[in-house]
Amino acid sequence: MSNQNLGLETQAIRTQLERTQYLEHSVPLYLTSSFIFEDAEDMRASFAEEKERNIYSRFSNPNTSEFVEKICLMEGAEDGYAFATGMAAVYSTFAALLNSGDHIVSASSVFGSTHTLFTKYFPKWNITTSYFDVNKPETIENFIQPNTKILYAESPTNPAVDILDLELLGKIAKKHNLILIIDNCFATPYIQNPIQFGADLVIHSATKLIDGQGRVLGGVTVGRSDLIREIYLFSRNTGPALSPFNAWVLSKSLETLPVRIEKHCENALKVAEFLENNPNVASVKYPFLKSHPQYEVAKKQMKLGGNIVAFEIKGGIEAGRKFLDKIKLCSLSANLGDTRSIVTHPASTTHSKLTEEERLAVSITDGLVRVSVGLETVQDVINDLKQALE
């Protein structure tokens, strides 16, 4: 039976991994650094890659393979490789595919450490990046150079929850023969599948909604098998592999991803609707609110609106700081996509080192608050936000 024809929920639960002699129902944990060979010929053939088998857990392990197989099925990808963190996935993907002299065109608002890679580290190897405004995707082609190799974006973006039209990005990438890479972390494989719209590779920080319970870090890159082959060879030699234990945890997490995401999104929509009607809130951004500037695009490419709500508190930086201090139930944390709701105020925390002008270039206004809506009783979350806004 091919899992490709099964529903996404089934793909997240049932895998083809062979059982051991104990016929366990749930996939066991293979905590082993290496695997043994039958004889010299088996060892030779294994190293010559004449057979697919596990050799060493830096290359592959039954638990990491099972996790990757599920993500591939859910994303409609040919192949993948799992990493210790989301940033290991981002870094290794670029490092495996780029040469000195290559150029990246990236959305202006990307995850902070990804931005740091582009601005601080890649220039050391003569890899340069140009940024397009996420709200002006029609300008992307102006940034493409003869040496551009990768088009990179996240959607929804962090922390402003802007939406990029993936179909448009897919068309531009195809026309200019670029590798389109989408960091799909905020949407998860349940809500959005960028490969459908022309992405060549999809990256996830599994630390966020895929684990969803704030326990382990992990990352994964899936997509075109020829590109994954390069990423695999780079990674098996440089060592950013996901640990078998974390792979086992993340694979278990996937089994409940669909039901968790349904509830996260139901709660987030209620929080967004509450905020829209609060007098101390200037504006709210949530992909599935009609007021979102890219509502139509969001509806086209996303099954649900996600769990992140951004809003603009009246009164700027000071009001944002006061709001954080009054929060009682929600957590103040840099993480997101947890069962526990989390609030952040980027202008006074994560992005406080930037000038106001630099912040505005990445859509961070002084009063911007980001809520990662969790799985608590939603009225309790709303009550907490309400009292903090008063």
Ligand X SMILES: *Cc1c(COP(=O)(O)O)cnc(C)c1O
Q: Return the number of the residue (86 or 137) whose C-beta is nearest ligand X.
A: 86
3-state secondary structure string, 192-224?
CCHHHHCCCEEEEECCCCCCCCCCCCCEEEEEC
Write down the least CB distance from residue 84 to ligand X, Å. 8
The residue among 216 and 272 lying less far from ligand X, judged by its C-beta, is: 216
- Cβ atoms of 198 and 171 within 8 Å: the answer is yes
Residue with tokens 């179909």: 167
Report yes or no: 342 and 332 within 8 Å, Cβ to Cβ.
Answer: yes
> Which residue is associated with the tokens 């609060």?
278
CA separation for the pair 245, 345 (Å, rounded)? 33
Cβ proximity to ligand X, 207 vs 281, nearer residue: 207
In the bound complex, what is the minimum distance in angstroms from residue 114's beta carbon to ligand X? 6
d(CA 163, CA 56): 40
The DSSP code for 4 is: G
Closest approach of ligand X to the CB of residue 182, in Å: 10
Give me the least distance between CB of 328 and ligand X, in Å please: 25
Binding site for ligand X (CB under 6 A): 85-87, 90, 111, 154, 158, 183, 185, 205, 207-208, 217, 219
Among candidate residues 254, 217, 257, the one with its CA nearest the CA of residue 27 = 254
Q: Which residues contact 23 (CB under 8 A, 6 or more apart)?
A: none
> What is the separation of C-alpha 65 from the centre of its chain, rounded to a whole number of angstroms?
19
Nearer to ligand X, 57 or 85 (CB): 85
Looking at beta carbons only, is 86 or 305 nearer to ligand X? 86
- Both tokens of 325, joined, read 């201090």
Shortest distance in whole angstroms from residue 1 CB to ligand X: 33
Query: Collapsing DSSP states into helix, strand and coil, what is residue 22?
Result: coil
Looking at beta carbons only, is 73 or 185 nearer to ligand X? 185
The rounded distance, in Å, linking the Cα atoms of 290 and 280 is 20
For 3, 10, 52, 371, 376, the CA distances from 342, given in Å and listed in that order, are 36, 30, 43, 6, 11
Order of strands, sheet of 308-313, starting from the edge strand that comes earlier in the sequence: 281-285, 308-313, 368-372, 342-344, 331-332
- The residue of the chain with the least Cβ separation from ligand X equals 86
Q: Is 80 helix (H, G, I), strand (E, B) or coil?
A: strand
Q: Which residues contact 284 (CB under 8 A, 6 or more apart)?
A: 272, 275, 276, 291, 309, 310, 311, 312
Select 111 or 152, whichever has its Cβ closest to ligand X. Answer: 111
**CB-neighbour burial class of residue 41 (10 A; exposed 0-12, middle 13-18, buried 19+):** exposed
Q: Name the residue nearer to ligand X (CB basis): 207 or 243.
A: 207
Minimum CB separation of residue 270 from ligand X in Å reads 23
Question: Quick one: 140 or 185, whose CB is closer to ligand X?
Answer: 185
- Residue with tokens 């929080």, as numbered in its chain: 271
Shortest distance (Å) from residue 99 CB to ligand X: 23
We find the least distance from the C-beta atom of residue 212 to ligand X, in angstroms, to be: 13
Q: Which is nearer to ligand X, 211 or 384 (CB)?
A: 211
